[in-house]
């Protein structure tokens, strides 16, 4: 073949790798039309799509002529996967941040390429030292893939959004309480690689196993119902979730945003406080529902609100920024319960407002803190955000109505090991999880669906219901088995009333992740790769 022919063939291979990356991203939040049949509307086709796209990509990496070519194919595949997954970052930087469109696109692509380097290095190492036996090569691939996922989830503050394991919530979600999202990804990568690398009868065996696990509609739910539940019911909690649906470009406008937020959320909180149907319940408003520091809101507003809560029947959680220029700022959730003492004068107001307080721990780079050397990048955007202080880990839950309610803010629920830190002691572990978010920064995009998928996995891992109060979606209640109980239409103002069941007891994942974090995942991956190399034989270099 001529040099030009080789170049065209190499380009075609990379184009296929890019297409496979886009398919793997599409599987994260399955966007099938509502009019389709129930199986197509479920998440099970997404699990199939991710498995087959991953298997095809493994074939391409394995057949590369050199370690460098394998790394290049993995880089294109995973960079496309990541860029397609979080392409909505462009909206926050360009539409709301004011960054030039070309530069925002370059920034998204650069981030995807940077994060894809973990997978490119993984592919280079795997190609050079993979075992000869196909089964061992598949295990080594799964271990290497998981190590790359760990690197992306931990290094440079971590950004594990869109990991392979999230595509499997409806097929393999029953295993999440034991192995977590990294374990789901490892199993998926191992079976995909076995399907790609096995030969003869072993390939048919791999295909049969994949059909069994992924091809039987409802198998995941069937298995989940028959496995022992490590958690137990801990009472019910009536809940009202608020969704203000205030557009991000209006959020900080005095009339179209701030005044609307103060009026609407104030009315909803006052009404909920005296609603007998919510007696002993909880009302939750989203991240920065009040987009002002408390001292910038009239004191009479807070006194009125606190007065109704004091005489009412419900506890309240609401997101708002706290702090001052001198003390620093936090992205926080404050909470109040009935019976709380009212402030006598303005000097007592700050303490009354933070009777319960949660400060966001895992901050967003560039949005909530500025990495060293990147001030110039943030200066290109017109975001009313800056450097925030980091909250402790873990922080105590809000205790109310026999429940221990643990809030967290926005993409903190990507880091399951951090949420698990509150589960070290079963007696004080949360019984209900609450996420407050504002995904309006990313428009009406698939980011909303992806975040709901992530929340479902967290509920499964920790065996707790997950309540989500957001500005534009997904405002939803998810039970401890990862099932969406109820959800508001996205980008519409409304309230969601639902009753959730608190849970006590610890899942296996909660036990090991609360004590050792991600160390077991790291050690298991290294051990798996070592065993594959020890018993899989050495491969001859081509």
What's the gap between Cα 128 and its chain centre? 33
Among 44, 210, 251, 360, the one annotated catalytic:
360
Q: Tell me, yes or no, if 251 is annotated catalytic.
A: no
Beta carbons within 8 Å of 25's beta carbon, 6+ residues apart: 80, 81, 82, 84, 85, 162
Residue 283 to residue 285: CA distance in whole angstroms: 7
Residue 457 to residue 483: CA distance in whole angstroms: 10
Q: Tell me, yes or no, if 360 is annotated catalytic.
A: yes
Q: How many Cα neighbours within 13 Å face the side chain of 5? A: 2
Beta carbons within 8 Å of 217's beta carbon, 6+ residues apart: 39, 42, 44
- Cβ–Cβ < 8 Å for 158, 418: no
Give the β-pairing of 432-437 and 403-409. parallel
Among 44, 149, 251, 410, the one annotated catalytic:
410
Q: For helices 44-62 and 67-85, what crossing angle results, to 10°?
A: 150
Beta carbons within 8 Å of 479's beta carbon, 6+ residues apart: 459, 465, 485, 500, 501
Q: Tell me, yes or no, if 287 is annotated catalytic.
A: yes
User: What's the angle, vertex CA 296, arms to CA 290 and CA 302, rounded to 5?
Assistant: 65
Owner of token pair 């979730």: 241
Among 287, 412, 417, 461, the one annotated catalytic:
287
Residue 318 to residue 273: CA distance in whole angstroms: 13
Kindly list the strands in the beta sheet with 281-284, ordered across the sheet, starting from the edge strand earlier in the chain. Answer: 356-359, 328-336, 314-324, 281-284, 232-243, 494-504
Q: Which two tokens stand for residue 509?
A: 């994942």
Annotated catalytic residues are 287, 360, 410
């Amino acid at each position: 073949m001529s040099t030009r022919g080789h170049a065209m063939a190499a380009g075609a291979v990379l184009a296929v790798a890019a297409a496979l990356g886009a398919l793997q991203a599409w599987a994260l939040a399955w966007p099938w039309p509502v009019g389709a049949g129930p199986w197509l509307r479920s998440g099970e086709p997404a699990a199939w799509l991710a498995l087959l796209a991953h298997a095809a990509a493994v074939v391409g990496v394995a057949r590369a002529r050199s370690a460098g070519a394998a790394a290049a194919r993995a880089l294109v595949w995973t960079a496309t996967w990541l860029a397609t997954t979080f392409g909505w970052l462009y909206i926050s930087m360009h539409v709301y941040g004011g960054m030039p469109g070309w530069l925002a696109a370059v920034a998204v692509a650069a981030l995807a390429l940077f994060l894809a380097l973990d997978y490119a290095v993984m592919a280079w190492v795997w190609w050079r030292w993979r075992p000869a036996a196909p089964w061992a090569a598949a295990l080594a691939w799964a271990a290497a893939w998981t190590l790359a996922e760990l690197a992306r989830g931990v290094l440079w503050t971590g950004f594990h959004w869109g990991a392979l394991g999230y595509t499997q919530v409806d097929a393999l979600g029953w295993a999440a309480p034991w192995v977590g999202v990294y374990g789901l990804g490892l199993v998926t990568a191992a079976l995909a690689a076995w399907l790609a690398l096995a030969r003869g009868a072993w390939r048919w065996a791999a295909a049969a196993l994949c059909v069994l696990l992924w091809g039987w509609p409802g198998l995941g739910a069937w298995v989940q119902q028959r496995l022992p539940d490590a958690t137990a019911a801990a009472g019910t909690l009536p809940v009202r979730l608020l969704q203000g649906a205030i557009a991000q470009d209006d959020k900080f406008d005095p009339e179209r945003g701030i005044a609307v937020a103060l009026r609407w959320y104030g009315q909803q909180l006052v009404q909920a406080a005296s609603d007998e149907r919510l007696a002993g319940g909880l009302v939750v408003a989203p991240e920065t529902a009040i987009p002002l520091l408390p001292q910038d809101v009239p004191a009479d507003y807070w006194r009125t609100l606190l007065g109704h809560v004091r005489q009412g029947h419900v506890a309240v959680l609401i997101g708002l920024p706290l702090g001052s220029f001198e003390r620093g700022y936090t992205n926080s959730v404050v909470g109040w319960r009935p019976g709380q003492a009212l402030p006598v004068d303005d000097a007592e107001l700050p303490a009354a407002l933070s009777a319960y307080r949660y400060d966001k721990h895992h901050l967003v780079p560039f949005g909530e803190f500025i990495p060293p050397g990147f001030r110039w990048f943030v200066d290109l955007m017109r975001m009313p955000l800056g450097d925030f202080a980091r909250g402790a880990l873990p922080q105590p839950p809000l205790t109310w109505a026999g429940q221990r309610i643990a809030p967290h803010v926005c993409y903190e629920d990507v880091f399951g090991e951090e949420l698990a830190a509150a589960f070290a002691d079963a007696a004080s572990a949360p019984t209900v999880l609450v996420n407050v978010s504002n995904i309006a920064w990313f428009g009406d995009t698939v980011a909303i669906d992806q975040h709901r998928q992530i929340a479902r996995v967290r509920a499964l891992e920790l065996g707790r219901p997950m309540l989500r109060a957001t500005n534009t979606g997904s405002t939803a209640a998810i039970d401890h088995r990862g099932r969406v109980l109820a959800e508001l239409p996205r980008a519409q103002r409304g309230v969601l009333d639902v009753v959730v069941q608190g849970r006590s007891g610890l899942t296996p994942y909660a036990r090991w992740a609360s004590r050792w974090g991600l160390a077991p995942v790291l050690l298991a991956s290294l051990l798996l790769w070592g065993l594959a190399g020890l018993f899989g034989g050495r491969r001859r270099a081509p």
